[in-house]
C-alpha cells in the first residue's frame, strides 16, 4: 500500500511538472490573483468562468487549472484588505483588523510580505496534511456525523465572546442578531416565511456578500473620505526593508503559522463552514494563545495578519477532503470542482482513493505549485502595490465604492442587493463609530443557520443521544471554555468594584442598544405565531440576545460597566481590547464628524440615484468624475482618464466577461435607443 501511495505521488508530480500543464496552472494562478484583488468576485466566479474551458482538457490539466486558480484567491485578496480595509473575499475579513492599521502606519509592504509568506506556507502545509491523510480519509470522514458538525458549529459560535473584546455582552447580543438575520427567508424544515416583510428578494435569505461589504468595505472607505486622508499617513516607504521585515516576522512566528494552517485545513474539511468563518475562528484562537495579543491585536500587530493568512490559504486542501472522499463539497467552489469531476467521468469516493490515486495526488501537487507561483508573483510586485496606500482618497473613494456596489450586485443581481448593501453600510459605520464589535455579527450570520439545520437533523436521527457522542462532548466543553472566561471575568471585575449605583444615564452608544433591543423585540413578536419547528431556534436565540443587550445596557447605564476600582498601590489592570478598527469619531469633534459624514452619505445616496437613472456602470463613471472634481479638486484631464478607465474595466469584466444581466434604468426605459448600452 505504501509503495502504491509513493508511486502515485511521484507519478503525479511528473505529470504536473509537464511544461504545458505548468503553463495552464500559471494561467489559472493569474486569474485567481486577479479575482482575489477585485472585492466580491472570489473563487466561485473564477470556477464558473473556467469550467466550460476545461471540458476539452484531459483530467490532469483540467483540475490543475481549477485548483491553481482557487488556491491563490486567498493570497491576493490580502491586497485590498491591507491597502483599503476592503476584504477582497469573505476569507480576508479578519485580515483587515491588523493589516489595514499597518498600512495606515506606512507598513503596507511589511504587512503584504508577511501575508504572502504566511499564505504560501499555509497552502503548502494544507497540501501536506491532505497528502498524509489520503490513506485515512474514509474511516476519518465516516466518523464525522451531523452531531459532530453541530458541535463544530457551536464551537465556532463560542468564538463570539473572544471576538467581542471589551464588550462580551454586546458581542453576544450582536451575534444573536446575526443568527436571526441569517434565518430570514423560507424555513427549510416547515416552509414558513420568516421575517421576509413581503419582499420576494428575502425569500432566499440575505446574501452574505452585501452584508460583508456593507459592514466592512463601505464604512472603511467612508471613514477615509471623512478624514480626507490617504490610507497611509506616513509617506516614507522602504519597499525592500518592509518586505524583508515581513519575512522575518513569519520566520519568528513559525509555530503560529503551523497552528493556524492546521486550523484552516481542519475547518475547511467541515462541509458548510467554509472560508467565511475560518479567518475569524483563527483570529480568535490567536488572541487566546499569542503572548500579548490582547493588548496589540486590532492595532496593527503583524501576528494577526500571519495567523489569518496562514489559515485561509490552507482551507482549499481541507475542503478537498470531503469532496474527494464522499462527493460532499467542502465549499461552494468545491461544488463546481465536483461538477467538473462528473463531466470527466470521475466519481468521488473510493475510486479517487484507489483507482485514481495518481489524479488525487495531482490535485495535491497543483495546490503546492499554485501557492509557490502565486506567492512569488505577489512578492515580485508587493512593494509597488504597497504604494497604493499613498493614493489620495478622492481617487480611491469612487473606485472602491463602484467595485463594492458591483460586487454586491453580483450576488442575486437585483436591486435588493444594493439596498442591503446600503442598509448594512449604515449599520456597520454606526457600530464602528460607537465602539460596537462587528465581527460577532458576521460570525453569527454564517454559523447560525448551520446550528439550526444540524440540530434538527441530529434530533431526528439520534434524539438526545447525540449529546453523548465523545466528539460532541469534547466540542461542547471547548465551547463552554470559550464562552465562559470573558463573562466570568466581567462578573469578577464587577464584584471587585466599589462603585455605587448612580442615576441611570445614556451615552450615544446606548442608542444602538435601544435600537437593537427594539428590533429583536419586534422580531420575537412576529416569530411567536410561527409553527413550533420554525420558531424554536429563532425564539431561543432572540430571547438570549435580548437578555444580553438589555443586561449590557442596564449595567452600563448604572455605572457598573467600567473597570473595577483597584486597591491602593496595586498595579493597574490591563484594559480589555476593542475587537474592531477605531472610527474617525475618535479623531475629530462630533460636529465636524456629523457634517462630513452627511456629505459622504449624500454622495452614496446620489450614486444609488444615478444607478436608477442611468445604470450601474455609467453611474460609476459619474461618481468618479464628480467626487474627484468636487471633493478632491483634481484636474479635469486626470479625472476624465480615470473615469473612462474605470468604465472600460467594469464593462470588460462585468458586462463582457461575466455577462451580468443588468437591471433596467429609468433612462434606458424612457429612451429605447439607449437599451443596447451596457448596464442601461
Alpha carbons 273 and 309: distance in angstroms, whole number:
17
Taking residues 648-671, report their average pLDDT: 70
Q: What digits encode the pLDDT tens for the residues 273-283?
A: 555 677 777 88
Burial class (CB in 10 A: 0-12, 13-18, 19+), 397: buried
Q: What is the pTM of this model?
A: 0.71
CA distance 80 to 147: 38
Quick one: pLDDT band at residue 609, thresholds 50, 70, 90? very high
- What stretches of 18-94 show up as alpha helix (H) in DSSP? 19-37, 42-50, 59-76, 78-84
**CA–CA separation, 516 vs 280, rounded Å?**
23
Cα separation, 246 vs 141, whole angstroms: 37
Q: 393-409 vs 616-630: helix axis angle to the nearest 10? A: 160
- pLDDT at 130 (0 to 100): 76
CA distance 89 to 13: 30
The predicted pLDDT at position 525 comes to 93
β-pair partners for 330: none
- Specify the pLDDT at position 420: 92
CA distance 236 to 389: 11
- The rounded distance, in Å, linking the Cα atoms of 276 and 445 is 10
Q: What is the pLDDT of residues 308-322, one digit of tens each?
A: 888 887 877 777 777
The tens digit of pLDDT for each residue in 548-599 reads 888 888 777 766 554 333 333 334 444 455 555 555 555 677 788 888 889 9
Q: Is the per-residue pLDDT at 419 higher than 80?
A: yes
How long a stretch of residues is the chain?
Answer: 680
Confidence label for 464 from pLDDT (cuts 50, 70 and 90): confident
Q: What is the DSSP string of 114-138?
A: HHHHHHHHHHHHHHHHHHHHGGGHH
Task: Give the pLDDT of residue 565.
Answer: 36
d(CA 470, CA 473): 5
286/304 Cα distance (integer angstroms): 7
**What local confidence, expressed as pLDDT, does residue 132 receive?**
77
Closest to 383 in 3D by CA, of 235, 233, 247, 242: 242
Confidence band, pLDDT 50/70/90 cuts, at residue 45 = low
Neighbouring-strand partners of residue 459: none
**Residue 158: CB partners within 8 Å, gap ≥ 6?**
478, 479, 480, 481, 482, 483
The helix/strand/coil state of 193 is strand
Q: Above 50 in pLDDT, residue 147? A: yes
| Segment 157-216, tens digit of pLDDT | 776 666 665 677 788 888 889 989 989 988 877 888 999 988 888 988 888 778 878 887
CA atoms within 13 A on the CB side of 290: 27
pLDDT of residue 490: 57
Name, in order, each residue with C-beta under 8 angstroms of 514's C-beta and a sequence gap of 6 or more: 553
Closest CA to 261 of 406, 84, 133, 121: 121
Distances from the Cα of 131 to the Cα of 5, 12, 632, 649, angstroms: 9, 12, 53, 40
Instruction: Identify which of 442, 369, 359 has the alpha carbon closest to the alpha carbon of residue 32.
Output: 369
Report the range of poorest mean pLDDT among 42-46, 357-361, 512-516: 42-46
* Residue 445 parent element (H or E): helix 439-462
For CA atoms 47, 49, 55, 57, the dihedral sign is negative
Mean model confidence pLDDT for the chain:
77
Give the number of other CB atoms < 10 A from CB of residue 353.
17
pLDDT tier, 141 (very low <50, low <70, confident <90, very high otherwise): low
49 to each of 39, 78, 345, 664, how far by Cα in Å?
A: 17, 22, 20, 25
Within 8 A by CB and 6+ apart from 41, the residues are 35, 89, 407, 410
Residue 613 three-state SS? helix
Which of 420 and 667 is assigned the larger pLDDT? 420
Q: How confident is the model at residue 404 (pLDDT cuts 50, 70, 90)?
A: confident
For 504-530, letters b (16+ CB in 10 Å) and e give eeeeebbebbeebbebbeebbeebeeb
3-state helix, strand, coil in the chain (%, to 5): 75, 0, 25
Cell 468521488 belongs to: 348
Instruction: Name the nearest CA neighbour of 100 among 251, 215, 236, 224.
Output: 224
- Distance, in Å, from the CA atom of 680 to the CA atom of 618, rounded to the nearest integer, reads 8
Amino acid at each position: 500500500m505504501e509503495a502504491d501511495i509513493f508511486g502515485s505521488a511521484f507519478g503525479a508530480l511528473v505529470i504536473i511538472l509537464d511544461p504545458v500543464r505548468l503553463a495552464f496552472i500559471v494561467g489559472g494562478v493569474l486569474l485567481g490573483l486577479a479575482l482575489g484583488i477585485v472585492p466580491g468576485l472570489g473563487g466561485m466566479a473564477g470556477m464558473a468562468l473556467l469550467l466550460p474551458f476545461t471540458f476539452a482538457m484531459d483530467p490532469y490539466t483540467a483540475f490543475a487549472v481549477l485548483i491553481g486558480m482557487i488556491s491563490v484567491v486567498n493570497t491576493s485578496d490580502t491586497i485590498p484588505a491591507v491597502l483599503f480595509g476592503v476584504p477582497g473575499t469573505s476569507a480576508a475579513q479578519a485580515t483587515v483588523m491588523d493589516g489595514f492599521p499597518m498600512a495606515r502606519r506606512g507598513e503596507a509592504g511589511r504587512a503584504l510580505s508577511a501575508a504572502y509568506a504566511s499564505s504560501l506556507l499555509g497552502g503548502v502545509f494544507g497540501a501536506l496534511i491532505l497528502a498524509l491523510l489520503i490513506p485515512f480519509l474514509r474511516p476519518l470522514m465516516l466518523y464525522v456525523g451531523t452531531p459532530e458538525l453541530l458541535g463544530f458549529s457551536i464551537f465556532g459560535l463560542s468564538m463570539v465572546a473572544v471576538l467581542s473584546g471589551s464588550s462580551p455582552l454586546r458581542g453576544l447580543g450582536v451575534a444573536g442578531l446575526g443568527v436571526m438575520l441569517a434565518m430570514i427567508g423560507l424555513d427549510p424544515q416547515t416552509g414558513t416565511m420568516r421575517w421576509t416583510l413581503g419582499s420576494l428578494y428575502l425569500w432566499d435569505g440575505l446574501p452574505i456578500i452585501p452584508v460583508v461589504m456593507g459592514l466592512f468595505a463601505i464604512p472603511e472607505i467612508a471613514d477615509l473620505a471623512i478624514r480626507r486622508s490617504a490610507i497611509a499617513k506616513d509617506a516614507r516607504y522602504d519597499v525592500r526593508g518592509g518586505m524583508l521585515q515581513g519575512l522575518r516576522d513569519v520566520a519568528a512566528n513559525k509555530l503560529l503559522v503551523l497552528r493556524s494552517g492546521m486550523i484552516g485545513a481542519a475547518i475547511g474539511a467541515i462541509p458548510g463552514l467554509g472560508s467565511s468563518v475560518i479567518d475569524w475562528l483563527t483570529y480568535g484562537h490567536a488572541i487566546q494563545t499569542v503572548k500579548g495579543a490582547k493588548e496589540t491585536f486590532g492595532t496593527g500587530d503583524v501576528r494577526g495578519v500571519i495567523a489569518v493568512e496562514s489559515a485561509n490559504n490552507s482551507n482549499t486542501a481541507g475542503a478537498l477532503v470531503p469532496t474527494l472522499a464522499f462527493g460532499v463539497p467542502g465549499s461552494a467552489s468545491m461544488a463546481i470542482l465536483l461538477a467538473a469531476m462528473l463531466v470527466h467521468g470521475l466519481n468521488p469516493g473510493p475510486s479517487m482513493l484507489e483507482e485514481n490515486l495518481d489524479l488525487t495526488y495531482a490535485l495535491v501537487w497543483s495546490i503546492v505549485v499554485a501557492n509557490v507561483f502565486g506567492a512569488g508573483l505577489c512578492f515580485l510586485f508587493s512593494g509597488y502595490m504597497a504604494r497604493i496606500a499613498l493614493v489620495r482618497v478622492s481617487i480611491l473613494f469612487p473606485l472602491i465604492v463602484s467595485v463594492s456596489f458591483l460586487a454586491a450586485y453580483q450576488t442575486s443581481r437585483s436591486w435588493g442587493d444594493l439596498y442591503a448593501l446600503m442598509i448594512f453600510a449604515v449599520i456597520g459605520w454606526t457600530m464602528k463609530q460607537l465602539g460596537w464589535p462587528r465581527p460577532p455579527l458576521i460570525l453569527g450570520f454564517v454559523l447560525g443557520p448551520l446550528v439550526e439545520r444540524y440540530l434538527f437533523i441530529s434530533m431526528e436521527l439520534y434524539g438526545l443521544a447525540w449529546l453523548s457522542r465523545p466528539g460532541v462532548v469534547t466540542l461542547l466543553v471547548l465551547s463552554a471554555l470559550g464562552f465562559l472566561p470573558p463573562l466570568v471575568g466581567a462578573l469578577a471585575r464587577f464584584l471587585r468594584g466599589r462603585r455605587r449605583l448612580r442615576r441611570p444615564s445614556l451615552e450615544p452608544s446606548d442608542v444602538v442598544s435601544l435600537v437593537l433591543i427594539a428590533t429583536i423585540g419586534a422580531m420575537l413578536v412576529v416569530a411567536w405565531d410561527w409553527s413550533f419547528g420554525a420558531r424554536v431556534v429563532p425564539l431561543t436565540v432572540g430571547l438570549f440576545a435580548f437578555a444580553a443587550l438589555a443586561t449590557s445596557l442596564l449595567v452600563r447605564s448604572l455605572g457598573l460597566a467600567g473597570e473595577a476600582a483597584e486597591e491602593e498601590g496595586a498595579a493597574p489592570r490591563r484594559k480589555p481590547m476593542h475587537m474592531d478598527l477605531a472610527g474617525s469619531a475618535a479623531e475629530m469633534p462630533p460636529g465636524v464628524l456629523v457634517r462630513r459624514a452627511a456629505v459622504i452619505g449624500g454622495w452614496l445616496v446620489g450614486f444609488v440615484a444615478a444607478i436608477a437613472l442611468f445604470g450601474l456602470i455609467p453611474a460609476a463613471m459619474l461618481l468618479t468624475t464628480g467626487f474627484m472634481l468636487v471633493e478632491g479638486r483634481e484636474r479635469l484631464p486626470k479625472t476624465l482618464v480615470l473615469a473612462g478607465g474605470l468604465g472600460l474595466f467594469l464593462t470588460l469584466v462585468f458586462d463582457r466577461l461575466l455577462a451580468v444581466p443588468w437591471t433596467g434604468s429609468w433612462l434606458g426605459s424612457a429612451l429605447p435607443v439607449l437599451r443596447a448600452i451596457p448596464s442601461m
